[in-house]
Structure 1
């Protein structure tokens, strides 16, 4: 097997550039950005390192092959021609998922079935098996994606999505994905020696992700990944990646991170989640109305995902919250404020035009990330 592989870090719409930046920071410079993904060449070590370190990617996939297919025969032969024996052992389990968009072969169940059949044939041939494959070993989840008659076949190295850090023991009605929360922090220019507040913290995701970033803790440090079980990846690669993550973590970095919420139940959940993440003493939690915010600090950062009035809370109630928030934060011109909301009238309600706006998706809700840069004192 060749030493380098092609990896695809998948990303939520609007976060591709953030994911690409993370990939490059890990040392993989030639990253190509496409819709919903970042593609790059790397060594096997990158499979472990990217799963451990990528804060904003959804998952890391290994590209097995690409080819054109307009008939089921072409799909079968193209799949069978790929070197499956290099990746899947004799007892390997390999469920196949699929998707098809603007392709001649539009029936996803049929495509999945053909791809599965082709891999079975190839492995039986290579391993000299006459009857059936047991599939009792480690899982190798395969995806066959058809787009305009081009077939892309990948192996999912992550298993559970990368947003599943392993610390969420409780959540509210509309939890923010950990990957999006990390992106909201990374899209600011917050520095670890400055105060960081989330005034609508819910289950605590934004402050927890800020603390992980602040102490340079790998987000995947406390979870496992599918590729850890794969025989073609040397287990020493994972040991080395975990060792590197441990060495790079700065557990002594002092942080001033605060999370507040009106709902005392959410504060208890946030506290439990922070404890599960090993950050019990790093974030300070408080039950508080956002309109009661007060700080003696000259500068600081507020990063929040308040209610939108769509899924939780009534629209008028939510708009009143935005107005009160704007009135309170007007007294902190040197502070930087970053607010994610689906409400298109936010700037008018908040009483100030944003320095910058960025379109993002929170689950399937189209939102804007309103960025207000703190005014430098003269």
Structure 2
């Protein structure tokens, strides 16, 4: 069994933990923005393919106590790095994070860990200089209260980059954040879903993938493909297993709207890419089935009316951060109050960084969830 560490937005640890458990793996503790779990070798592939709310998946290569650089170096050099790297790998310690530890110089820690890895590889392979002509492999170091965790990146590009969104517009919502919102709202595929500020269509597109049980990573590549531990045949086999789980027999009512025609066109294009990617995964198992596309229309939210008695409105309206200003956002939120009248019986979820949202919309939410969205501290306001 291996220990893995999945990163996520701060505030999404519980949801990510539930996802990991549903994959059949055992949780092994968490910290803000990180969830550790144990799993077999297949978890390397399955976690990257399937986790909707994780930003990256790492293998934990070492975990030990260190209060000085000698302990940091010696314990790092005990790791069997030769088992995971190729002889031409270019190894980079890309990030260091320390918290309440005696070792707190991030630059020095970075250099010491990299030196220990290269010394071990040079000793085992009997090479004084490694060529470093191959693919880059990233290592990350966390030191929490003198406990060192050395992690090897298996994802490469962040997992929110599913590959289907070619244009996110001005202020796109991360795909992983959209997946978190759907889970926080406890949305189910039979419930009508509408995003009245759809932008590039991220919420609707993530809902489509979730509703049809499409693993979000089926259409992209990962950093593990450059490691010595990569088993291509096994990775393809697991990809086919996940493709076989795609549901094409479900009926969904997933829609979005935006006042900007260009945004609606982006949303439609991104939805097409997402569904085509799912279709290609189905072709791996000999299926020509088609994934239902969400519907997007050009409309001001003020002109919308509920098409069904019950449903979910879930949206990421302008915060006044990158689009407009805080005063304009407050006016917009005030107008959003009519959604309670125009969509009676519907639940409403709104994510924003503006603390004045509740006073602007004129109604207190049943539940508030804090979530880090990129570099912004945001809150999901949940109304029932």
Matched, 1:9 2:6: yes
Matched, 1:252 2:263: no
List per-residue Cα deviations over 1:95-144 (Å, max 9, x = no partner): 12232423333322222222122111111111122x21112334431112
What CA distance in whole angstroms lies between the structure 2 residues aligned with 1:244 and 1:13?
31
List per-residue Cα deviations over 1:346-365 (Å, max 9, x = no partner): 22322322121111122222
Change in Cα spacing, 1:328 to 1:143, as seen in structure 2 (3 Å) is: closer
Contact 2:3 / 2:59 at 8 angstroms: preserved in 1? yes
- Give the CA deviation at 1:31: 4.3
Counterpart pick for 2:154 among 141, 144, 157: 157
Change in Cα spacing, 1:29 to 1:75, as seen in structure 2 (3 Å) is: closer
How many residues are treated as equivalent by the alignment?
369
- Give the CA deviation at 1:319: 2.0
Gaps of 5+ in 2: 277-290
Counterpart pick for 2:112 among 114, 122, 126: 114
- Give the CA deviation at 1:145: 2.3
List per-residue Cα deviations over 1:232-259 (Å, max 9, x = no partner): 2322321122011110011332221111
What CA distance in whole angstroms lies between the structure 1 residues aligned with 2:117 and 2:54?
28
- Give the CA deviation at 1:93: 2.4
Contact 1:32 / 1:40 at 8 angstroms: preserved in 2? yes
List per-residue Cα deviations over 1:218-242 (Å, max 9, x = no partner): 0001001111232223223211220
Secondary structure of the residue that 1:140 maps to in structure 2? strand
What CA distance in whole angstroms lies between the structure 2 residues aligned with 1:225 and 1:10?
15
1:167 maps to: 164
Contact 2:309 / 2:344 at 8 angstroms: preserved in 1? no
Change in Cα spacing, 1:90 to 1:188, as seen in structure 2 (3 Å) is: same
List per-residue Cα deviations over 1:320-378 (Å, max 9, x = no partner): 222222123224331111111122232232232212111112222222111112xxxxx
Alignment of 1:321-336 (within 5 A): 321-336=332-347
Secondary structure of the residue that 1:122 maps to in structure 2? helix
TM-score, normalised to structure 1's length? 0.93
1:134 maps to: 131
Alignment of 1:2-81 (within 5 A): 4-81=1-78
Contact 2:138 / 2:152 at 8 angstroms: preserved in 1? yes
Contact 2:194 / 2:314 at 8 angstroms: preserved in 1? yes
- Give the CA deviation at 1:94: 1.5
Matched, 1:358 2:369: yes
Gaps of 5+ in 1: 374-378
Return structure 1 stretches of 4+ with deviation > 6 angstroms. Answer: none
1:310 maps to: 321
2:357 maps to: 346
What CA distance in whole angstroms lies between the structure 2 residues aligned with 1:183 and 1:225?
22
1:376 maps to: none
C-alpha RMSD of the superposition = 1.7
What CA distance in whole angstroms lies between the structure 1 residues aligned with 2:36 and 2:97?
20
Matched, 1:203 2:170: no
TM-score, normalised to structure 2's length? 0.91
Contact 2:318 / 2:329 at 8 angstroms: preserved in 1? yes
Secondary structure of the residue that 2:91 maps to in structure 1? coil
